[in-house]
Amino acid sequence: MADTTQHDDDEKDTVRVVAPTRKRAYSKELPELPPSFAIKNWMKIHYEGTNNRGDYVNKTELLQHFRSHFNMPDHPELANTFFDKLSVLIFPADSSYRYVRTKRTKSKHSKRRLVCLRRKTAAVATARDLVDTAYAPQPVPVKRTKVLVGNQTLAKRVANMTNEQLVSRQRPPVKPDLRPVVIDGSNVAITHGCRSRFSCRGIALCVRYFLERGHGDVICMVPNYRLGGGVKPPVTDQHLISALENAGWVKLTPSRKVNGGHIVCYDDRFIIQLAESNGGVIVSNDQYRDIMETDPEWKPVIQQQMLQFTLVGDLFMFPNDPLGRHGPSLENFLKVPMEQ
């Protein structure tokens, strides 16, 4: 009996020792998140948005993936900061994530989820991420200056017109504030024909362009001998010249045939003289250096009223600064000056 009592007393004096629980070690300060562009690139590579609510990513798994990829230390506030950045800066800026939402199911053991989001397969992610560029410096966007070359919407519409439309289409209403236009027909036709032919379609395109802009006075000067055959370079679509002449948009400069040869008056003088008299714009790529030497009084007309062009196929392109960087814009250049 005595031994039994002693055994019971020893059992009562026994105390169970419980090891103290260790607190999880966190970094003292909240680590700074990677730049937004790095997180955005990482999300693009590994996750994609869907419009199916059956697709979801557990937030815990997403956070662990984020921490391991960017080597982020653990911190109790890291999750809130990370998901706040996703919801405020990353998802709203990309339309592919517009359906992503936070969802908690009613299950007792459910985790917080991001629905309409799924992780890409390893093969797809690897293919798009052969080199991890999460922290690579992003290229500085270069602000490209838009080079204006006239009204390209109008120029494209004119370029797509058929020959019949160019000469028979009804012209739009005339705008009274636009200057007259004098077209150097030979220069335009030779340029459009790539200097191997005299292209009458090039003349029709140029005339139609300014008619569509609303210019009331559009005149193209063409030497009379171009209506005959046997001239070089050969003339193509010659019927367009006759149709434009009947409409009053082409004027023929004098020429005559004597002893099998042509006596041709200098058509450039007619062009400059007309532009001087009506204050119009001369459409030509000719420099008219010979006329400036022989007739210096026309030098201001040539220097201040010239509009050069570039032809790409049937597309007419005019510079936005016809008189240079410090001159008027094309829009103002083609308007009647205030003093007139």
Higher pLDDT among residues 249 and 339, named by residue: 249
Count Cβ atoms within 10 A of the Cβ of residue 235 and give its class: 0-12 exposed, 13-18 middle, 19 or more buried: buried
Same domain, 191 and 90: no
CATH number at residue 43: 1.10.10.10
Residue 134 vs residues 43, 248, 251, 318, 338: alpha-carbon distances, Å? 10, 67, 67, 45, 59
Same domain, 304 and 195: yes
Over the stretch 259-268, which tens digit does the pLDDT of each residue have?
A: 777 788 899 9
Residue 17 belongs to some domain of the structure = no
Same domain, 159 and 107: no
Cis status of the peptide bond prior to 31, with omega within 30 of 0: no
User: What's the pTM?
Assistant: 0.57
Over the stretch 281-302, which tens digit does the pLDDT of each residue have?
A: 999 999 999 999 999 999 999 9
Residue 174 belongs to some domain of the structure = yes
Residue 22 belongs to some domain of the structure = no
- Which range of 63-72, 137-146, 176-185 scores highest in mean pLDDT? It is 176-185
Q: Around 244, how many Cα atoms within 13 Å sit in the side-chain half-sphere?
A: 30
User: What CA–CA distance (Å, rounded) separates 184 from 204?
Assistant: 12
DSSP class of residue 285 equals -
Residue 222 has pLDDT above 60, yes or no: yes
Longest dimension (CA), the chain: 160
Confidence (pLDDT) at 146:
47
Same domain, 166 and 111: no
And the tokens for 142? 């270069």
Structural domain containing residue 214: 152-333
Confidence (pLDDT) at 258:
80
Residue 20 belongs to some domain of the structure = no
Helix (H, G, I), strand (E, B) or coil at 14: coil
Number of structural domains (the chain) is 2
Same domain, 315 and 185: yes
Same domain, 201 and 289: yes
Over the stretch 150-186, which tens digit does the pLDDT of each residue have?
A: 567 899 999 999 999 999 999 999 999 999 999 999 9
Residue 265 belongs to some domain of the structure = yes
**Number of alpha helices (DSSP H) and beta strands (DSSP E) in the chain:** 14, 16
- Measure the CA angle with vertex 300, ends 296 and 306; round to 5°: 120
Same domain, 264 and 320: yes
The H-assigned helical ranges of the chain are 2-13, 36-46, 59-70, 78-85, 122-128, 152-159, 163-168, 185-192, 200-213, 239-247, 267-278, 289-294, 299-304, 330-333
Residue 217 belongs to some domain of the structure = yes
Torsion 329-333-334-336 (CA) sign? positive
User: What CA–CA distance (Å, rounded) separates 46 from 61?
Assistant: 13
Q: Percentage of residues in the chain with pLDDT exceeding 70?
A: 79
Closest CA to 135 of 36, 38, 33: 38
CATH number at residue 228: 3.40.50.11980
Residue 10 belongs to some domain of the structure = no
Residue 277 belongs to some domain of the structure = yes
Over the stretch 23-44, which tens digit does the pLDDT of each residue have?
A: 555 556 777 888 887 888 888 8
